[in-house]
Amino acid sequence: MEICNHCGHSVALGSGRFVNRIPDLNDMETRIANTLQYPSGDYVCEICDNMDSDAEYGEVG
Ligand SMILES: [Zn+2]
């Protein structure tokens, strides 16, 4: 599905999240094991991807 597997928001064309979506290469079993809220989602949106990488805090540049 073209949704973010963290927040469940649509990342389909026209959703506003299409451009910066990141494909999630894990299969659904892995996503469930990772306790994702929406394991049927094949993508992570930019916002959730940024929340995941909080080791690099702040803006790039
Ligand atoms: Zn998200």
pLDDT the model gives residue 52: 62
pLDDT the model gives residue 20: 95
29-38 burial string, b = 16+ CB within 10 Å, else e? eebeeeebee
**Is there a contact between 19 and 49 (Cβ–Cβ < 8 Å)?**
no
Ligand 1 mean position to 22 CA, how many Å? 10
Ligand 1 mean position to 13 CA, how many Å? 15
Ligand 1 mean position to 61 CA, how many Å? 23
Ligand 1 mean position to 16 CA, how many Å? 12
Report which residue type is found at 36: L
pLDDT the model gives residue 60: 46
**Is there a contact between 46 and 60 (Cβ–Cβ < 8 Å)?**
no
pLDDT the model gives residue 14: 96
The tens digit of pLDDT for each residue in 8-57 reads 999 999 999 999 999 999 999 999 999 999 999 999 999 999 886 555 55
